[in-house]
Structures are given as structure tokens and as C-alpha cells.
Amino acid sequence: MKRIPYIIAAVLTLTFWACQKPNNTGAVIQPQDDIIKADVIDTFTFQTQSIARDTLRTDEWNYAVIGQYTDTYFGTTTANFYTQVWLTGSNPVFALDNNENYTVLDSIVLFLQYAHYYGDTANTPLQLSIKEITDTLYKEGIYYSYSNGKNTTGNNLINNTLAAQPISVRPQKVDSIINRKDRSKKIVLRSILRIRLSDNFGQKLLTDNAITPSNFASSTVFTQNYFKGLAFESNSTSSPGVVAVFNMTSPASRIVLYYKIKKKIDDSMVDSTASYDFPFNNPAIARYNTFKRTTTPPNNSAQFSYLQTGVLNEMYLKINDIEKLKNMAINKAELTLHADDVNLFKPSRYLGAYHAGSTAKRKDSILILGAASVSYDSLRKRYTLNLTDYLQAVIIGKLKNNGLIIRPLGYFGSPETDLARTIIHGAQSPDVQRRPRLRVIYTKVQ
């Protein structure tokens, strides 16, 4: 066995933060020049399986996930979104009906800024209905991915029909403009979804603002007593389907009421460009997502692990034979996981890794690798997890070898999700070359 020319002095500091905090796990213990002089072992075996979760909170997210898609292993997954609508200031007056002037509706338009999309935009557009909520949403309320949706009036505010007839929406890609002075720089332009809402809805707001202005005294009064909010519901669509993700904290995401003020004496125009905004980006707004799935993927298969954000499916992985590493200093340890190669439903680009609790339950698991510490090769469809500090902690007894929980993360590397599904080759995958592999570079310690 090769020997390095000096005694190793390694100070191992393991810092494990709470589940939503960043961490510094994954630092290489020795300089790169020393690693090439060390030995390598990669003959570990694994235990793998899927884990189904149902406790993902969705009421503190900044994004709305809306859509539906169908997959062979995950069935049909549907995402609906419920939110309050805020006022711009208190006691707004945008409707007049006095001796001199009156207000007439021009239009009312919904704007939502795209953040991302997932699935097939070319052949199966999003089928969307927008309805008025009749139940109160509470900011202090706790809502989960499996929570029930809110009751609605049944009217579709897009076309004001009792039958919730959806419209077809094709999610747009993010556009960019090249800076002509410096072609290496780009200006990113987020696409905006624009939907004209029912004139009846806009006229009701105008009429009630003029007749009962007390309903508009404040956003609290408005949302609790008058207009509870909106339900964005995805209707059945042909497979495979698509999911759209919207940024609800953007100032561009809002409802705009356009109106005109006319003189009663001759019907001439006083103001032809007036408008009033109902924003979605106020931090006091209550909102949440629901995710429903018709099929639960296998959770006892050692061949594949089925991961999905939102609903929430995770992977349990335990490394066997860790005792091989006793009396060794871990210079570098990398775990490689291979995703199943699919073209339409791309794997999650981010994963997080947790040290499993005594019963592999999330409530006593510890985050060891955040999204920034897990790299993904989109060409080879494989993830690389740096487990250097984790393995050293297990070897010296600071952590028990309870295994790891591999959690899929959304497009933004956080619980805010795109409903991406990922199939990872497990310990008994038919493709031997794509089974999990742990490569450890180590130095023997006397």
C-alpha cells in the first residue's frame, strides 16, 4: 500500500444545520496533491428503496405550480393553486357614480410571470380554470401538499360560465436579449401569461367599489369579508401533459382593472387610461398548492427508486460495508447515482441528502448536503454527491450508519417545486453499470 511522506494531521469539523439551512459538508479533507498518492476503494454494496412522504408544507412558497401530467410510473399528477388577492393601499376609489362623472369598464386582465415549466409544451397545453374562492384563507394557517382545495362559486372567471370550461395555455420559455455592446452578456426577460378575465367580474368590482366602499377599506377586510381569493385549477388533459410554475412575488404578477371615466353631461372622456392593480406579491398574502397523484410508485423495489417533488417521493440509500474504512482518513468520497434516461420528463436537476434518523423518518433526519453540494451531469444523467465528511463522521462514531435520505428538489433547488419526477437506478438495477457507486480515496492511519 502506498504511503504518504508525512503524518496526516486532519481536523474534522462536522456542522449539520437544520433542514432548511445551508451547510459546509463536502469539503475535501486533504489537498489535491496528496489525494493522488492515496489508495482507492469502490467495492461497496447498497440498500435502496423509495419512500413516500405526505407532509410537505406548501403555504410559504413564492411560486404557484399549476398543471397536470401523466407518467407510466407516477400516474396522473395534478397541481392546483389557491391564493388571496391584495389591494394597492387602503380605501381605493376607482369607481365613480356622482352627479358629474361615472366609471365604465374597459377590461380586467390577469398577469402571471413565468418562472419555469415541466413536461410537454408542444403537444399538450395546460388546461386552466380560474374560479372565485368562497372559503377564507388564513395567513397563519398551515397547508400541505395533500390538503383539500378551497370551495369555489363554480363560475369560471375566464369566461363567466357555470360550467368550468378551461382555456388552453402553452407555457412560454424564458427569453433573453443579447447586449449589442457586449455579446457575452444577456438580459433575461421572463415571459408573462396574460388572460382577459370576465367583464362581469370586472364590472362587479367597479359597482361594489362605488356602492359599498367599506368592502375595500383594507386588504384584510377585502379578503376576509368580500373577495376570498382565486382558485387556479388544472383540468383534465391528454397525456403526457405539462406543469407551469409562476413567480407570485414578482410585481408583474397581478390583476389589473382597466376603466374609463366619462362626464355624464355629454358622455365625453375624462380619463381614458386609468387602471387599478390587485397585486399577488404582498408578503401578507395567504396562498398554498395542492398536489394529487393517482398512482403510488413501487416503494420496495431494489431495482429503481422513484422520486418526485411536491407529492413527495424520496430515496432511501444505505451504504453497506462501511467497516472497511476503519482506521482510514477519508480524503475524498463521491457517491454516483444514475437517473433513468427519459426525454420528455427530465430528472430533477437538484437533490438534497439527509442523514436518516433511527427510523428513517424526516422529523429526526439531518441535512448534510444541500442542492449546491450535489452536482448533476445532464448529458450523462448522473448525480455526484460528496460524502467525505459524512463517511468520516460515521467512521469515528459521530453518526450511526442509519443510511441517507435522498430528496428531490425543484428547479430552484428548494422545496418550491416543479413536480419533476426522477427514476434512479437502485442497488439491483438490471443495468449493472448504472447502479450506485461509492468511490473513496483514503489513507491508512496507524
Using one digit for the tens of pLDDT, what is the confidence trace for 424-436? 999 999 999 999 9
Q: Quick one: 258 and 231 in the same domain?
A: yes
Which amino acid would we find at residue 69?
Answer: Y
Count H helices and E strands in the chain, helices first: 4, 26
Tell whether 339 is covered by a domain: yes
Domain span at residue 344 reads 32-55+299-444
In the three-class reduction of DSSP (H, G, I as helix; E, B as strand; rest coil), residue 158 is classed as coil
Q: Are residues 106 and 252 in the same domain?
A: yes
Same domain, 207 and 310: no
Alpha helices for 172-263 (secondary structure H):
199-211, 219-221
Residue 185 has pLDDT above 70, yes or no: no
Indicate if 219 and 311 belong to the same structural domain.
no
Using pLDDT thresholds of 50, 70 and 90, give the confidence band for residue 323.
confident
Instruction: Report the C-alpha gap between 40 and 220 in whole angstroms.
Output: 63
Q: Are residues 44 and 140 in the same domain?
A: no
Same domain, residue pair 276 and 342: no
- If asked whether residues 94 and 219 sit together in one domain, one would say yes
- Indicate the DSSP class of residue 57: B
pLDDT (tens digit per residue) in 336-385? 999 987 767 888 888 888 888 765 555 556 777 776 678 899 889 999 99
Q: Are residues 307 and 254 in the same domain?
A: no
User: What does pTM read for this prediction?
Assistant: 0.83
pLDDT of residue 163: 54
pLDDT tens, residue by residue, 128-169: 899 999 999 999 999 998 899 999 988 889 876 555 566 777
Amino acid identity of residue 166, one-letter, is: P
- Mean of the pLDDT values across residues 94-111? 88
Q: Are residues 202 and 79 located together in one domain of the fold?
A: yes
Structural domain contains residue 8:
no
Name the average pLDDT for the chain: 83
What CATH number corresponds to the domain at position 39?
Answer: 2.60.120
Residues 174 and 323 in one domain: no
Q: How many domains does the chain have?
A: 2
Report yes or no on 214 lying in a domain: yes
Higher pLDDT, 273 or 266: 266
For the stretch 201-240, pLDDT in tens is 999 999 999 999 999 999 999 999 999 999 999 987 777 8
The answer to whether residues 87 and 255 touch, using CB atoms and an 8 Å cutoff, is no
Domain membership flag for residue 18: no
Which of 169-183, 188-202, 225-239, 295-309 has the weakest average pLDDT?
169-183
Say if CB 61 and CB 416 are below 8 A apart. yes
| 359 located within any domain | yes
What pLDDT digit, counting tens, does each position of 16-50 carry? 333 333 333 333 444 555 555 679 999 999 999 99
What is residue 19's predicted lDDT score, i.e. its pLDDT? 36
Is 305 among the domain residues? yes
Q: Is residue 345 part of a domain?
A: yes
Residues 6+ apart with CB under 8 A from 137: 82, 83, 84, 150, 223, 228, 229, 286, 287, 288
Q: Strand, coil or helix: what is 395?
A: helix
C-alpha cell of residue 347: 430528472
Mark whether 233 and 304 lie in a shared domain. Answer: no
What is the rounded radius of gyration, in angstroms, for the C-alpha atoms of the chain? 27
pLDDT at 162 (0 to 100): 55
Q: Are residue 98 and residue 207 in the same domain, yes or no?
A: yes
pLDDT computed for residue 14 by the predictor: 32
In a domain, residue 9? The reply is no
All three cell numbers of 386, joined, read 460528496
Which of 244-258, 356-370, 397-411 is predicted least confidently?
356-370
Looking at 226, 261, 285, the residue that finishes a domain is: 285
| Domain edge (last residue) among 285, 319, 345 | 285
Distance CA 161, CA 361 (A): 46
Looking at the chain, the whole-number percentage of residues with pLDDT higher than 70 is 83
pLDDT class of 295 with cuts at 50, 70, 90: confident
Whole-number pLDDT of residue 116:
87
CB 56 within 8 A of CB 310: yes
* 133: helix, strand or coil: strand
Which of 13-27, 240-254, 330-344, 395-409 has the lowest average pLDDT?
A: 13-27
Which of 260, 285, 310 marks a domain boundary? 285
